[in-house]
Amino acid sequence: MYRLTDQQKEVVRIASEVADGVIARYAAEVDLNARFPSEAVAALGETGLLGLTVPSEYGGMGQGMSAAAAVLDQVAQRDASTAMIYLMHLCGMACYTANPAVTEVHLRAAAAGKHLSTLAWSERGSRSHFWSPVSKAVQNGSGVLLSAEKSWVTSAGHADGYVVSTLAANAASPTETALYLVLKQDSGLTVDGPWESLGMRGNASAPMKLHEVSLADERAICVPGKGFDFMLGVVLHWFQTGNAAVSIGICEAAIQATTTHLTGQGFQHLGSRLSDLPNLRARLAKMRIETDKARAHLAKTVEAAEAGDASAMLMVLESKASAADTALEVTDLAMKACGGAAFSKHLSVERTFRDARALSVMAPTSDVLHEFIGRALCGMELF
């Protein structure tokens, strides 16, 4: 559905091989032990996939949103935690690519599989309203001091680079934000608690604290004060479409697990399979229809966004909300179709059900997206 070129199909084939060969192998154990999937991230690095969207002049594959969506979809079919780590890395790459004067060395390292990135935007004080951080940079000679309480940072402590949001030192309004590149080794950056979650248990989305992290002005990813425009103009479409792709990959995993269960198990005393029950087949059909609808919408969205189509922004907003709703519905249907067996960990269905709960609460949350879309349709300002 993603309308890929032959070259992009080859990239997706490589991703699918990595996903089958490495990512799938560790997925259940990563979930059980809530541990970071280091093997999966290393495999993405070794195959060049951490450089999927890094421009070729910096050693990357130079791919856009369509290929990214197709690859994320593949990865999420095997392990949603790894897919989320990968998505946040790709969002980091979008930030780096917009300012290679600051980040070239890290873009090259990512392309070589040696740099993992993420976004540290959500704060305790403004919760899911990431566009309004409450922390504020303090000007310190030719640099800034950053102190902040970040509430959720995927790959916390594992990533090499963190794109951190904060109010600009001279901000006079809540959206005059700045984005800075903070590196793992910068003094004052610490993981501030464990990651103990219902789903996405492998992605280490723990809180982080910045205490007077001292950065040169050159670490600014965009013009201080213009972070809000940068978030919406440079990063939002990557996050939204990638998040939708992760939802769709989770749906696909639920369909595969349900199909295997329904066709492989049955009632011995009746000599029938579960798939002989029409209501279970109808649930599976509904799962397929909803997943195909969400994937078709996403494919159209990335095509429109890459073509710079005027309708793209609304579709970008829709894509995450729609796919996240679909993931909730499809994994719920999978639980119902597979009965008590789904409740147990011997099927992967319950993992897809738990993982799917994260997508709609990642910011912008589905509630907020519905509000944005409604406002846009009524000709109102979004903020």
Ligand X SMILES: Cc1cc2nc3c(=O)[nH]c(=O)nc-3n(C[C@H](O)[C@H](O)[C@H](O)COP(=O)(O)OP(=O)(O)OC[C@H]3O[C@@H](n4cnc5c(N)ncnc54)[C@H](O)[C@@H]3O)c2cc1C
Least Å distance, CB 225 to ligand X, is 20
Indicate whether 363 belongs to the interface with ligand X (CB under 6 A): yes
Indicate whether 361 belongs to the interface with ligand X (CB under 6 A): yes
Least Å distance, CB 230 to ligand X, is 14
Indicate whether 130 belongs to the interface with ligand X (CB under 6 A): yes
Indicate whether 369 belongs to the interface with ligand X (CB under 6 A): no
Given 8, 82, 117, 122, the residue binding ligand X (CB under 6 A)? 122
10 Å Cβ neighbour count for 97?
18
- Angle, in degrees to the nearest 10, between helices 24-33 and 349-359: 70
Q: Which of 78, 19, 40, 23 is nearest to 250 (CA)?
A: 78
Structure-token pair, residue 74: 């593949």
Given 145, 368, 373, 382, the residue binding ligand X (CB under 6 A)? 368
Residues in region 87-116 near ligand X by CB under 6 A: 88
State which residue, 42 or 363, has the beta carbon closest to ligand X.
363
> Cβ distance 51 to 61 under 8 Å?
yes
Gap between the Cα atoms of 128 and 151, Å rounded? 9
Site string for ligand X, 178-217 (x = CB under 6 A): ----------------------x----x------------
State which residue, 95 or 280, has the beta carbon closest to ligand X.
95
Least Å distance, CB 195 to ligand X, is 9
- Counting Cα atoms < 13 Å in the Cβ hemisphere of 313 gives 9
Given 56, 198, 367, 383, the residue binding ligand X (CB under 6 A)? 367
β partners of residue 215 = 144
The single-letter DSSP state of residue 114 is -
Indicate whether 365 belongs to the interface with ligand X (CB under 6 A): yes
Indicate whether 153 belongs to the interface with ligand X (CB under 6 A): yes
Least Å distance, CB 150 to ligand X, is 7
Q: Is 7 exposed, middle or buried (0-12, 13-18, 19+ CB in 10 A)?
A: exposed
> Cβ distance 146 to 182 under 8 Å?
yes
Give the phi and the psi of residue 151 in degrees, each rounded to 5: -85, -30
Gap between the Cα atoms of 147 and 56, Å rounded? 35
Indicate whether 118 belongs to the interface with ligand X (CB under 6 A): yes
Residues that bind ligand X (CB under 6 A): 88, 118-122, 127-128, 130, 152-154, 200, 205, 358, 361-363, 365, 367-368, 371
